Structure 1
Amino acid sequence: MSLELLQTQDPHAYDDVVRQLPITSALQGWGYGEARRELGQVPTRYLIRRAGRTVGALQLIRKRLVPGLNLLYAPRGPVLEDLSLLPDLAAALRTVARPTDTLVRIEPPFARTPELIPEHLGPWRRSEAEQPEHTITVNLTKPEPELLANLHSMARRNVKAANKFGVEVVTGGEELFEEFWTIFTATNERAKLGAFPKTYYQTMLSQGAAYGGDAYLVLARHQGRALAGGFFLAMGAVTNYLYGGSVKDDRPGEDGAERKDVKAPTAFYWGAMLDAKARGYRAFDFWGIPRKLDAEKHSFGVYRMKENFGGEKVWFPGYDLPLSPVSPLIVRGLRWRKTQNNLRKRGSAEDVL
């Protein structure tokens, strides 16, 4: 039975569907689309209907590639009650695409089994995801002692050490933004990661919680200074650690000696997990881990840190639906542009994750 895409202008009704369906993501939420608008990209939201019943939701971000050519992108989407609906979605998408739209890119989830990720889903073809394709998620429904026991022994020791040193974990919203921004920008500069304009994150923080989702900040402070922190966007049962980092405490210690490492990053992650559990989320998405492990890269340390907190690996592979004969050229052009961006910012052609 065919699917129908019904465009909606009602953010509350749209986010209600995004929040309730089992295959979903906060990146399909209304607030995330409003943040993308800050980048000059245009979100359009649809309810996916079958035989008069809503079976999904879809936020398509229209990204202008060159004059007269666009990419339609569903970040970590679409939202569905079942992945078996994906092949039938293609025909519905063709009915709403404009003549200037060259292809549609989606990122549905597959857990634990990358070898079994299909190359084709009906007319969809495996491609390169725009969001980090690999992640680690932790099941927060377990009791706190079990969550702690699942941590690597080093992480458990660091949690105890951070408590002993008096590291404080705090959560909030706009009142914490400048502290988060200081940490985030310092981390990006150190690791040559790059970032969007400040207004992008501020809009996501305000709009992400406006219609049915949640957006908040978590900081780990020691003696009044924030040393680690992150930005979280949540929807339904899952909270996502999208952005963050850590800084070294360069304040002089006692008698001018270098300060001890108070394990603030570990305290941040553990505190963020407990906070998410208290908020009622059932899963904690650590976001990106590298496709290829290289001990010389910044991303390897990020991977080791996230892996220390237990959890399982989940894949969000990219799939493309060609809408134009020029779509193969567009795909190659996107890859070339990403490579050049990596070279310019980081001096390496390889992706961060």
Structure 2
Amino acid sequence: MPVSLDPIDDPAEFNRVVAAQPFTSPLQSWGYGEARKVLGQQPMRFLVRRNGSTVGALQLLRKRLVPGLSTLYAPRGPALEDVALLPELAPALRRLAKVTDAYLKVEPPRAIPAASGDVGQAEDVAADQRDVPPAYGAFHRAKTEQPEHTILADLTRPEDELFSGLHKMARRNVRTAQKMGVQAGRDDDFEAFWHIFDQTNTRAQLGAFPRAYYETLFREGNKHGSETYLVLSRHEGQALAGGFFLGLGESTLYLYGGSVRDDRPPAEGQDKRKDAKAPDAFYWNAMLDAKEHGYSVFDFWGIPRVLDESKHSFGVFKMKLKFSTDRYWFPAYDLRLSPVATPVVKALHARRKLLNYRSRGTTDDIL
């Protein structure tokens, strides 16, 4: 019996099914789709059924490019009982597509371990991805929209084992932060987070969506069984590092954040202010918080495909690597729906390079 896609308009039930799948992601949550409306994208939700049983859920975003032309996108989805079902979805997806939809992009939430021991060198990229399938039936490997290379941490281990697994520099910095009185944990100060996030983006020449998008995700992602939350790292009350998280089921994602320079004057009798190691305290306490709230997988969300010490992403990668060395790939796949799919993909890639060059002086992506 073929796989069917049945529309669903019950947010709680949809999230329940998404959370229950072995291959799933918080980006398939109802609230994430609601936030994308701010960007002009239209979410559609379906239950995936086979032989009368529910075997998954799918959130699709229709993204209008120009009048009469659009694409479909499943952010880190679909959520499935088994990714082997993906090829069977192609006929149903073709039936629901409009004539204006050029192609459909999926990002199956199957974490594929990085294969090589050496991280990120250009000549190792192919070997590093040797276990990544080139296709799933009619779906063929394509560029991702979300970061395809990331670091995950297994939070099911005891706290002392987690701590001993950190890089020695991370352990030392966490202890320094504790001695200096740094406080890190869940925090409802969105303005403090926004200051950190905005300053980080400006300093690193990163792009960002309008603030309304993050505010909407913060509100809508905190409903129907999923949750959004902030973790901030403060020294003497000043927020110096922090992040925005989206969690559902067993996983939580560190989606947005950063750190700011501590430009406060030094204490009396000191030449300069001592580094409180707030970013290290942020990462460690975010992991502990996630563990305490029942998450077993912590996604650090994005490291570069190829290392380049001149890029901001290199420093971010080295920081994340201190807290876990378990690297994974989340590749994307396209289902071509129209004869114009190929030129549309090429045009979007060219546009992305142009935007990168205008904003940072290079055509390369951040990651």
**What's the TM-score once normalised by structure 1's chain length?**
0.98
* CA–CA separation in structure 2 for the residues paired with 1:257 and 1:35: 46
1:248 aligns with 2:241: no
Name 1:286's counterpart in structure 2. 300
Q: Does 1:234 align with 2:247?
A: yes
* Candidates 184, 189, 193, aligned match of 2:197: 184
Aligned structure 1 segments of 4 or more residues deviating by more than 2 angstroms: 255-258
CA distance, structure 2, for counterparts of residue 118 and residue 194 of structure 1: 30
Check if 1:193 corresponds to 2:185: no
The answer as to whether partners of 2:185 and 2:289 remain within 8 angstroms in 1 is no
Percent identical residues = 56
What 5-or-longer segments of structure 2 have no aligned partner?
Answer: 116-128
For 1:48 and 1:316, how far apart are their aligned partners in 2?
A: 21
**Cα distance in structure 2, aligned partners of 1:58 and 1:170:** 32
1:345 match: 359
Residues 47 and 58, structure 1, Cα contact 8 Å, conserved in 2: yes
| 1:30-64 superposed Cα distances (whole Å, 9 cap, x missing partner) | 00001100111100011101011110111000001
SS in 2 for 1:115: coil
Quote the residue 2:90 is aligned against.
90
- Which whole-Å CA distance do the structure 2 matches of 1:120 and 1:318 have between them? 9
Using the alignment, how far apart are the partners of 2:254 and 2:135 within structure 1?
30
2:311 paired with 1:310:
no
CA distance in 1, matches of 2:102, 2:238: 48
The separation in 1 between residues aligned to 2:179 and 2:320, in whole angstroms, is 22
Query: What does residue 148 of structure 2 align with?
Result: 133
- Residues of 2 paired with 1:339 and 1:107: CA distance? 22
Provide the residue aligned with 2:22 in structure 1.
22
Letter in 2 for 1:229: G
2:178 aligned with 1:163, yes or no? yes
Structure 1 residue 170, shift from structure 2 partner: 2.6
* Residue 313 of structure 1: how far off its partner (Å): 1.2
Deviates more, 1:285-294 or 1:103-112: 103-112
Greater mean deviation of Cα atoms: 27-36 or 105-114:
105-114
Match of 2:2 in 1: 2
Matching residue of 1:119: 134
User: Which residue in 1 is equivalent to 2:55?
Assistant: 55
Q: TM-score, normalised by structure 2?
A: 0.94
User: Post-superposition shift, 1:186?
Assistant: 0.1
SS at match of 1:163: helix
Q: What is residue 147 of structure 1 aligned with on the other side? A: 162
* Worse-matched range after superposition: 233-242 or 104-113: 104-113
| TM alignment of 1:60-71, pairs within 5 A | 60-71=60-71
Structure 2 counterpart of 1:267, which letter? A
Tell me which amino acid in the other structure corresponds to 2:154.
Answer: N
Equivalent position of 2:34 in the other structure: 34
2:73 maps to 73
Deviation of the 1:267 alpha carbon: 0.2
Q: In the TM superposition, what is the alpha-carbon distance from 1:254 to its structure 2 partner? A: 1.8
Question: Partner of 1:258 in structure 2?
Answer: 272
Does structure 2 conserve the Cα–Cα contact (< 8 Å) formed by 1:139 and 1:311?
A: no
Letter in 2 for 1:170: G
Q: Measure the CA separation in 1 of the matches of 2:106 and 2:167.
A: 34
Cα distance in 2, alignment partners of residues 334 and 75 from structure 1: 17
Contact 1:7–1:45 (8 Å) recurs in 2:
yes
- 1:110 offset after TM fit, Å? 3.6
Q: CA deviation at 1:120?
A: 1.5
SS of the counterpart of 2:162? helix
Contact kept in structure 2, 1:110 and 1:117, CA below 8 Å: no
- What SS does the corresponding residue of 2:130 show, helix, strand or coil? helix
Q: Does the aligned pair in 2 maintain the 1:342–1:349 contact within 8 Å?
A: yes
Q: State the partner residue of 1:325.
A: 339
Picking from 224, 236, 240, the partner of 1:223 is 236
Do the aligned partners of 1:94 and 1:323 also contact (CA within 8 Å) in 2?
yes
Residue 300 of structure 1 is aligned with which of 314, 320, 330?
A: 314
Unaligned runs of 5+ in 1: none
Q: How far off is 1:322 after superposition? A: 0.3
Question: The residue matched to 2:39 in structure 1 has which SS?
Answer: coil
Q: Which residue of 1 aligns with 2:45?
A: 45
Using the alignment, how far apart are the partners of 1:34 and 1:330 within structure 2? 26
Count of matched residue pairs: 351
The superposition leaves residues 284-322 of structure 1 with CA deviations (integer Å, 9 ceiling, x where unpaired) of: 000000011011111001001111112411111110000
For 1:163 and 1:110, the matched residues in 2 are separated by: 33
| Aligned equivalents of 2:153, 2:147: Cα separation in 1 | 17
